[in-house]
Structure 1
């Protein structure tokens, strides 16, 4: 009877992940981030809330990234400093 081969070894993948993490350490930039997925109108309102509550000049508030999804939904990440000096 033939032996069924087991799952492939993940040693190579683990080594590549460790190398990547060593070469690209986790970013420690101290920004506060929040990601949302909302309809277009609601997304605009949420971004406006952030800019009203955390003014760009004091908190460096910005829409860090965004993309349009199916159904007129927007996924976006807001970024700001935790406090103004």
Structure 2
């Protein structure tokens, strides 16, 4: 049985190289992160604002991490993509 050759990859290699030259990868990734320290009620409101402004389906918005501090304080980090491209 004859093997069908795959497509040439030189064009893809050039495109990847050009993209990396224009915008080198950073250690933090492509997400925008913001950390908040609010009381429980305000934390829920702030998270809802993020999900309303940047919908999860388009921006991959999520609560990346959270922890409860003394009292009713919550520290949490929201994460999203910079655009919905």
Do they superpose with TM above 0.5?
yes
* Equivalent in the alignment of 1:4: none
1:80 shift after superposition: 0.0
1:42 partner SS: helix
Aligned pairs for 1:3-82 (under 5 A) are: 27-82=27-82
CA RMSD across the alignment = 1.1
Structure 2: which 5+ runs fail to align?
Answer: 1-25
2:63 partner SS: strand
1:71 shift after superposition: 1.1
TM-score in terms of structure 1 length: 0.68
2:38 partner SS: strand
Structure 1: which 5+ runs fail to align?
Answer: 1-25
Structure 1 moving runs of 4+ over 2 Å: none
